[in-house]
Structure 1
């Protein structure tokens, strides 16, 4: 089970047009309004995504508690495999068999919201909004649409690991890793110079999240065009090219995958890399010299906000039991049930105050606790930097143009202009 699962974004976005065309035929008999007033009763069909195998007892307990709190309700739990989940949602929506409460990420919620199949919680459940972290609630808002289309559920983020010894060898303070891009660029240049180019700070070229962390506007408010070619985006790419030319970025940064970057960090040829609790255990077992010098810090940003990965629970706007569906989605995502789930697996609650619990603030010296405490701290103000509409094809287009700029084949401005043009073209073909 991969709790930090990356979704099939391209597939989810590609089904939007089909859903819009078929939405009028997918009614389950309800009025399709955004009202959820009425008695909490009836059978709620609840669909998750690859969770039953490892968390059956947890969910069956939550369901039993809900049915006890609301006599006259029953929850039917459906758990779908991860493979083909976006296609399954599309087929259910088109066929009028979409469950009442559905586990979604923002990119999966978008085509359903655009087709009018997702309940607007700003209208139907506004009284619950203040229970959740602001960034988590906003993560299920959709470009070009007004409203919020899923209850925020569990969160995740990735801290940065850094090598304190390499920082010290370069004359940098190992207790003060970079927190802004200006500091990162300066420290990376110093490290490359002090090591005669043997040690790079980072192993990867900038991705869309980096442009967001830098402070670039990624998309217009209506969701009709991309904007990461504006001055802030161009400035970031210029800085990365300077790092690349100076040897402060790994020589294979244009082709490195996450696995390759991880190996380079373990081999101590780069000084910083994102990671997880699993990586900590690997370092301790396979790279003890790295492990004893390991530092943990939030990812660099200019916005004061880290990146957030979020899952949500969407309510079917055409559900025949909307009052019960809203009540159940809220119940699953309330502070108590989210905290209990976080004790089952390495995820984080999206509810306000939960991240102040000692479980997320007190370091007991264990590997997984070190990562948990660092991640929880950053999640309090984190946002989802990847635009909901940014597909895998768009990621490839950006990656290719970034490579051309770093290699000097295009100016940073021309490369980003061309990337935006291609992403806008892809947006029109899927939207």
Structure 2
């Protein structure tokens, strides 16, 4: 189970203009503008999740059973789809008007469904529940060009940074004061590269879209119809990273690096900072004890005071014939009690207000899992989802490729970002 759902399938969906016409004009369904979810809570609700049954069957059957006891006139039919091809399955169901009543989505998956009129506007249909959720989580399923929120926020995650205290100390840096701003990160990285004569890099990855957000770059215009990450601050970020790359303060493989290779380099102690989780700590304890004893945990660097949030949601099908029951069930699954129970079974975090103040998220208990959990929970209280909901996998690739050209000196940072923005604008227009 990929809790952050950052795999390519998480952003592969592309509902075209033809599908928008089908969804809005298909027979047997109500208009996407129908946000009335009042009425008796009754009927059969089809509930679809994404690769959860294998590991969490008992948990979900308990949640469903309790709901059916409270609402005896409701029957929940749970459908769990495999991760492989999940986006394509959503697209096919949307085109055929067979989308389930309650659907597990991430913001990028919800966006084309909302555009097609298939996602219920919860600011209208479930406004009474809005204040139960963290502001950043509720806003994460807002859609460009549309008012409202189109999925209940469900579980959250974020990526605290691990850093190697010994490498910091060897470079003459304070191992108890890792960088918290980008200016300090760039300064420390250059110092480390200089002291190690280019043998130790601070980071293993070139900047991705969430890094632009954390740096304070405005990623899109106000109506989210055009990308703006090529603004001067975005250009400045790429120029700073090129400076690191040229000084060997950024790993030589950064332009093609993936999470797994970056993790290996951190384990080999050739880079000093890298995102990580509790599972990584366990691995380092066994496989790299000299690294493990020197690991520090710190929030990801940012200039905004807010970390990056990865979020999952539950969307209610606007064409559902059992909307009152579907809304109540989606809220039930995502309420504080059930999210807290889920968080005790897997390393995720509730999106409900107050939940992150629970001792489970504020006291580490002296364990590795606890150390990571407390650091992440603290960051999530004010975190936001920097990745625009419309930013597809193709757009990520376009940005990555152009940033690489800037790093290699094939283009200026301005030219590379202008080209990346133009390509992303083109892809946005094609998506309708």
- TM-score, structure 2 as length reference: 0.97
Partner of 1:291: 292
Contact kept, 8 Å, 1:16 with 1:114, in 2: the verdict is no
Contact kept, 8 Å, 2:11 with 2:109, in 1: the verdict is no
1:318 aligns with 2:319: yes
Displacement of 1:80 in angstroms is: 1.0
Partner of 1:3: 3
Partner of 1:389: 390
Partner of 1:96: 97
Displacement of 1:43 in angstroms is: 1.4
Partner of 2:72: 71
Change (3 A) 1:30 1:144: closer
Unaligned segments of structure 2, at least 5 residues = none
Correspondence list, 1:89-238, <5 A: 89-238=90-239
Partner of 2:40: 39
Aligned partner of residue 260 in structure 2, secondary structure: helix
Displacement of 1:222 in angstroms is: 2.0
Aligned partner of residue 143 in structure 1, secondary structure: coil
Contact kept, 8 Å, 1:401 with 1:416, in 2: the verdict is yes
Partner of 1:20: 20
Aligned partner of residue 328 in structure 2, secondary structure: helix
Displacement of 1:9 in angstroms is: 4.7
Partner of 2:255: 254
Aligned partner of residue 344 in structure 1, secondary structure: coil
Change (3 A) 1:309 1:27: farther
CA distance in 1, matches of 2:222, 2:114: 16
Displacement of 1:318 in angstroms is: 1.0
Aligned partner of residue 175 in structure 1, secondary structure: coil
CA distance in 2, matches of 1:253, 1:186: 19
CA distance in 2, matches of 1:22, 1:194: 62
Correspondence list, 1:263-412, <5 A: 263-412=264-413
Displacement of 1:3 in angstroms is: 2.8
Change (3 A) 1:46 1:10: closer
Aligned partner of residue 155 in structure 1, secondary structure: strand
Could you list the per-position Cα deviations for residues 335-357 of structure 1 after superposition, in whole angstroms to 9, with x for gaps in the alignment?
Answer: 00000000111110000000011
CA distance in 2, matches of 1:113, 1:221: 19
Contact kept, 8 Å, 2:24 with 2:31, in 1: the verdict is no
Change (3 A) 1:379 1:40: same
Contact kept, 8 Å, 2:87 with 2:109, in 1: the verdict is yes
Partner of 1:430: 431
How many residue pairs match? The answer is 430
Displacement of 1:396 in angstroms is: 1.5
Change (3 A) 1:324 1:27: farther
CA distance in 2, matches of 1:24, 1:186: 53
Aligned partner of residue 47 in structure 1, secondary structure: strand
231-240 vs 362-371, which deviates more?
362-371
- TM-score, structure 1 as length reference: 0.97
Change (3 A) 1:27 1:48: farther
CA distance in 1, matches of 2:31, 2:229: 40
CA distance in 2, matches of 1:28, 1:270: 57
352-361 vs 66-75, which deviates more?
66-75
Contact kept, 8 Å, 2:31 with 2:117, in 1: the verdict is no
Aligned partner of residue 46 in structure 2, secondary structure: strand
Contact kept, 8 Å, 1:28 with 1:97, in 2: the verdict is no
Partner of 2:245: 244
CA distance in 2, matches of 1:359, 1:272: 26
Contact kept, 8 Å, 2:11 with 2:87, in 1: the verdict is no
Displacement of 1:2 in angstroms is: 2.8
Could you list the per-position Cα deviations for residues 29-62 of structure 1 after superposition, in whole angstroms to 9, with x for gaps in the alignment?
Answer: 5465111111111111111111111111111111
Q: Cα RMSD (Å) of the superposition? A: 1.3
Displacement of 1:16 in angstroms is: 3.8
CA distance in 1, matches of 2:62, 2:229: 45
Change (3 A) 1:358 1:144: same
Could you list the per-position Cα deviations for residues 299-339 of structure 1 after superposition, in whole angstroms to 9, with x for gaps in the alignment?
Answer: 10111111111110000111111111111100110000000
Displacement of 1:155 in angstroms is: 0.6
